[in-house]
Structure 1
Amino acid sequence: SMLRFAGASVAMGNGKPNIKEAAHYVTADNNHHGAAKAIYSAIAYNNELSKNI
């Protein structure tokens, strides 16, 4: 799966079990703003990394 080779892969909470297993991170489902939560988390993580440079 391409998800295993990605630096950071995200699966939706309501995704298929094999997709969630292959992803690095599983977010909420699409009915609970999963995509937005994943993007917000990525931005927050990058901001924290930038503080340490």
Structure 2
Amino acid sequence: MAIGDNFNDISMFQIAGTSVAMGNAPDGVKEKAMITTLKNTEHGVARIIQKKINPAI
């Protein structure tokens, strides 16, 4: 899983099995990701990891 918030992360998305854009990422980055999570100020990284471990959350 790759998590990113800017255009430099798109190449990482292309290699990762699951690509996740942060909620505060530009729309162009979100369009390239498989999933969009919460903003960084809303603990988006923690949230997506929790959801991968326990999808019922």
Q: Same-fold call, TM > 0.5?
A: yes
Structure 1 or 2: more helix by fraction: 1
The equivalent position to 2:49 in structure 1, one of 35, 39, 51, is 39
The aligned counterpart of 1:24 is 34
Q: Which runs of no fewer than 5 residues in structure 1 stay unpaired? A: 46-53
Which 4+ residue blocks in structure 1 deviate beyond 2 angstroms?
Answer: none
Structure 1 or 2: more strand by fraction: 2
TM-score by length of 1: 0.71
TM-score by length of 2: 0.67
* Matched residue type, 2:39: D
Shift of 1:8: 0.8
* Matched residue type, 2:21: A
Identity level (%): 44
Q: Tell me how far apart the structure 2 counterparts of residues 17 and 36 of structure 1 sit (CA, whole Å).
A: 21
| Root-mean-square deviation (Å) | 1.4
